[in-house]
Structures are given as structure tokens and as C-alpha cells.
Amino acid sequence: MKTKIAIIDYGMGNLRSVSKAVELCGANVNIITNAEEIKNYNALILPGVGAFAPAIKKIRENDFDAAIKEHLKEGKMFLGICLGFQLLFSLSYEGGVHKGLDIIKGNVRKFIPKRSEHLVIPHMGWNTLNISQTNKAAKQMYKGIAPQSFVYFVHSYYCQPTDKRLIATTTKYSIDFCSSVAHDNIWGCQFHPEKSSTIGLQILKNFIAQCEAKKC
């Protein structure tokens, strides 16, 4: 039986392209708008495009916050993408100070490159991944992926996990920022795997394989 994956629709996601990419990798996918539906799925994906404050507001208004945390307690797999990754953190400093889901301790901050660097914000386009050699979950997330592989980014803010051991990859853009995390059943990436060609599809295949391994 194929893995059943739910993509959460809270009004700010890049839903169709994520759905098509996951289907291509061999899973059964549904886009859901009701938090009660989460319990029916083996894994969750939280995508996102837009601003942190309205996104977390919609998450809470629709009771997705409690449902996501219950899903994680059951040991089921979870993937946050771009804004969906940032929402996992304790605080965001995008347009003020906003409380996130606090699933990952840490902050979300804006890129402030030096004038001499002439870097454009948002960070948009292809950039490389420096894969952690110490994070065991990163080895599962990036199985079959070569070091310094390119993936696609579109963001102005980056995540700072308090526990650096959670970092699965870093990427250089003015600073070496955390471009993904992996810990047990929680995966998150700042880049868009659904827009990252064969590398992105391999990450999604690894996500599905890990879900099947956990028998979640």
C-alpha cells in the first residue's frame, strides 16, 4: 500500500506543484483543509509562500497547530517547506516579533548582507547544500545526493535553530545559514524540493522511504 501523505492547505501554500512532485515520487497525496483529517495520514507536508504573521494566524485559526503537534507525538513523518519550515520555529522577526509553533527552538531572521557584497534580497535561485557529516537524520534525508548539490531558493528570512545538532545542511549567502534540519520524524527545508529538479525529487523519495521504514 502506498504511503498516504497530506499536504496542509492554510491558504498560503504552493500546493499543486508540491502535490504533483510527491505523487511523482510514488505516494498517495491529498490536500486537506480540515485539521481533523490529519489523523488519517501517514505523513504531513506543510508548504508555504508569503509572510509569517498571517500564516501562523491561519494555522491557529484552523486548529492545525494542535493537530500537527499530535501527529509528531505519534512519531509520524513531517516535512516543512520554505515558510512551512519557518513556522516550526519559536519566534520570527518578520515585520515585528511573532510566535511560531515552537516545535523547533530558535528564531527566524532577515538577511542583512554587507553593502560590499552586492547581494540581492530575496535570496532567489539555485544554490548549493553543505550536508552535515554528524547529523544521522541528515544522512537519511540526503541519501543518494552528492555534496554541494544545487537546490532552488526563494526567501528573505532564514532559520536559526538553537540546537545546532539539528542542522542537516547549510548554504552560503552572505552567511552560512541553516538551509534544512532533520531530527527523528521532523524534516524541514528552506529551499523548494518541488522546484529543485532531480535533487528535490530524491529528497521527497527519501521522505517517503523514511515514512515507510517507520511504518507510520
- By annotation, the residues acting in catalysis are 82, 192, 194
CB atoms within 10 A of CB 119: 12
All three cell numbers of 191: 529551499
All three cell numbers of 87: 513556522
What angle (nearest 5°) sits at the alpha carbon of residue 73, between those of residues 38 and 89?
85
Give the separation between CA 143 and CA 139, rounded to whole angstroms.
Answer: 6
All three cell numbers of 66: 494542535
Q: H helices of the chain, where?
A: 15-24, 52-61, 64-73, 83-86, 136-141, 197-214
Question: Residue holding cell 515507510?
Answer: 212
All three cell numbers of 155: 526567501
Q: Are 119 and 174 in contact (CB under 8 A)?
A: yes
